[in-house]
């Protein structure tokens, strides 16, 4: 028990360390005039495919000295960040005019490499005192040319930095590429490249606490907020319609039946039974593949708890813009710490269903989500390694994740399973279950599993598709999603709509005398 407490404490410390911004060397972000402010080059990649990223020096950029790698937290590595020292020196409040960073003679292969990157609209990302910077590495000149073979390709070699400060703190930084200072990459020949930079400092009144707000303004623009609130209103209307529909069913159809079955059971048996009342002796028959069903229930409970915790962290402001490494760290740590919930729920429910091999059920619970996730990760990581992308996890990070799963997730899963087995209650059905199941009558095609799944998924999807668009635009695009309060409201609406449509479709299934409702309801 003491070992478990120590492991949990270590994980909490790791999470606290990981749920931080990309830290500079100056941890308090205060500088004196002339102090070096850390500038890290992060990654490069095609603008139209943000998930494809590579290390900054995978392109043949030159360096002004020894390149040092920054030690990164778990979440930053999972996010694909690979920070290294940049060749530019931006000392605090020190203007520089056309300073030479480094020189390099580009070979034919280097020119071809850069030209391919310019052709694909490659951009770079850097961090200056934890503030993100972007810029394109070159441009394509297409004016007056129809044939792509006549295009001209140029590499930007002069970056103009504009930095704003408030007293002794950096507030804002912008990078502009000088369109006149370029290197011609059109022909396969050796060229001299002299990379330069200019630094201009200016004072601002923006406080340090608000310097990250500009990165979230794109999500909070009035026309975007109008779309979000329109989606919420549409979802609320859907909830009201479903509520009225279900209320009608429960009040007009089921009320008398409930009153009848609440009376003497023998009197109820003398009356003719139809529809769902006809199969009341089969409704609470245990489902097929009850071990898999209990494992799915346990994994679902854990993922639901994980989602709630993530929302709590988001609403208190942990996942601010361009701190995506914190999200990955939180996902790993919270999933590990909530594995006991999966073990408890699965084992308890499995034992209620009179399951005997609870150990096998526990193993199934532990592998039901992690197994497919691991296989998917192996495939994607292999592809990333083959292309030398930053999405490929280093061996050390993989070892850390495996240790977390072995030393934290698995023990907590077992402890939860033991607790669920020992505290399980007997399954109390409200009516007798017949010895032999009734035959299910033939059902029309629209009552089969796939059409029912489509109907059950349409309304919940219609309630959240607007938010899904913005989330996917953030994951696979350059949008920034920061309106977590609206996302939480939509999540609550999603739960309500899903519950209502599940109740309605389950009633229709039972009314058609189909008593195998467990899996359909789940």
**Residue predicted with more confidence, 207 or 11:** 207
Q: What is the mean pLDDT of residues 61-78?
A: 84
- Confidence category of residue 149, pLDDT binned at 50, 70, 90: confident
- C-alpha span between 405 and 411 (Å, rounded): 9
Q: Look at residue 154 in the predicted model and tell me its pLDDT.
A: 94
> Poorest-confidence range of 182-191, 288-297, 495-504?
495-504
Three-point CA angle 8, 397, 133, nearest 5°: 105
Average pLDDT, stretch 378-391? 91
Question: Is the separation of the CB atoms in 34 and 91 below 8 Å?
Answer: yes
Residue 160 has pLDDT above 90, yes or no: yes
Model confidence band, residue 117 (pLDDT cutoffs 50, 70, 90): very high
Of 296, 285, 281, 279, the C-alpha closest to 507 is 279
Q: Would the pLDDT of 333 be above 70?
A: yes
**Residue 445's pLDDT is what?**
80
What is the reported pTM?
0.81
Q: Which of 175-184, 221-230, 432-441 has the lowest mean pLDDT?
A: 221-230
Q: How much is the pLDDT for 121?
A: 93
Q: Which of 186-190, 273-277, 388-392, 495-499 has the lowest mean pLDDT?
A: 273-277
Report whether pLDDT(438) > 80: no
| pLDDT average, residue stretch 278-298 | 84
- Is 80 exceeded by the pLDDT of residue 428? no
pLDDT of 322 > 70? The answer is no
Q: How many C-beta neighbours within 10 Å does residue 188 have?
A: 11
Give the lowest-confidence range in 95-109, 157-171, 193-207, 461-475: 461-475
Q: What is the residue whose two structure tokens read 């406080």? A: 207
pLDDT score recorded for residue 5: 39
Output 517 or 339, whichever has higher pLDDT: 339
Tell me: pLDDT of 18 over 50.
Answer: no
Tell me how far apart the alpha carbons of residues 57 and 70 are, in angstroms, rounded to a whole number. Answer: 14
Longest dimension (CA), the chain: 98
| 91-95, 102-106, 463-467: segment of lowest average pLDDT | 463-467
Return mean pLDDT, the chain.
82
> If phi over 0 gives left and psi between -120 and 50 gives alpha, with beta otherwise, what is residue 29?
left
Over residues 141-169, the mean pLDDT reads 88
- Please tell me which of 192-206, 256-270, 277-291, 468-482 the model is most confident about, judged by mean pLDDT: 192-206
């Amino acid at each position: 028990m003491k070992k478990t407490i120590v492991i949990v404490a270590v994980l909490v410390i790791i999470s606290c360390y990981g749920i931080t911004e990309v830290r500079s060397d100056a941890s308090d972000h205060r500088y004196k005039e002339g102090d070096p402010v850390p500038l890290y080059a992060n990654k490069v990649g095609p603008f139209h495919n943000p998930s494809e990223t590579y290390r900054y020096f995978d392109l043949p950029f030159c360096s002004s000295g020894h390149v040092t790698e920054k030690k990164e937290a778990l979440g930053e590595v999972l996010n694909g960040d690979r920070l290294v020292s940049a060749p530019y020196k931006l000392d605090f409040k020190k203007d520089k005019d056309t300073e030479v960073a480094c020189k390099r003679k580009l070979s034919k292969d280097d020119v071809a490499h850069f030209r391919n990157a310019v052709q694909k609209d490659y951009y770079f990302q850097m961090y200056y005192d934890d503030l993100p910077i972007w810029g394109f590495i070159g441009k394509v000149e297409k004016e007056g040319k129809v044939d792509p073979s006549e295009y001209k390709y140029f590499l930007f070699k002069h970056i103009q930095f504009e930095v704003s400060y408030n007293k002794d703190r950096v507030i804002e930084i912008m990078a502009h590429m000088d369109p006149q200072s370029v290197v011609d990459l059109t022909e396969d020949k050796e060229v001299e490249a002299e990379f330069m930079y200019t630094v201009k400092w200016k004072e601002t009144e923006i406080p340090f606490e608000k310097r990250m707000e500009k990165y979230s303004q794109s999500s909070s623009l009035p026309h975007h907020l109008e779309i979000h609130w329109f989606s919420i209103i549409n979802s609320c209307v859907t909830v009201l319609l479903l509520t009225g529909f279900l209320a009608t069913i429960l009040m007009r159809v089921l009320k008398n039946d409930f009153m009848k079955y609440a009376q003497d059971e023998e009197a109820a048996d003398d009356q003719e039974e139809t529809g769902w009342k006809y199969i009341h002796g089969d409704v609470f028959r245990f489902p097929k593949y009850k071990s898999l069903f209990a494992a799915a229930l346990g994994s679902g409970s854990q993922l639901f708890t994980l989602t709630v915790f993530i929302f709590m962290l988001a609403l208190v402001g942990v996942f601010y813009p361009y701190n995506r490494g914190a999200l990955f760290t939180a996902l790993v740590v919270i999933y590990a710490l909530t594995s006991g919930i999966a073990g408890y729920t699965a084992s308890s429910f499995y034992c209620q269903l009179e399951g005997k091999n609870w150990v096998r059920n526990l193993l199934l619970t532990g592998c039901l989500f992690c197994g497919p996730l691991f296989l998917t990760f192996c495939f994607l990581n292999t592809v990333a390694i083959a292309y030398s992308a930053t999405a490929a996890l280093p061996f050390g990070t993989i070892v850390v994740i495996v240790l977390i799963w072995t030393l934290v997730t698995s023990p907590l899963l077992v402890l939860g399973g033991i607790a669920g087995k020992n505290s399980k209650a007997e399954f109390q059905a409200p009516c007798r279950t017949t010895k032999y199941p009734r035959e299910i009558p033939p059902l029309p095609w629209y009552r089969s599993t796939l059409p029912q799944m489509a109907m059950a998924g349409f309304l919940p999807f219609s309630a959240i598709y607007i938010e899904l668009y913005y989330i996917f635009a953030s994951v696979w695009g350059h949008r920034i999603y920061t309106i977590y309060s609206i996302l939480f409201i939509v999540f609550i609406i999603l739960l309500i709509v899903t519950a209502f449509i599940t109740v309605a479709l389950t009633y229709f299934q039972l009314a058609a005398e189909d008593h195998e409702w467990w899996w359909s309801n789940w």
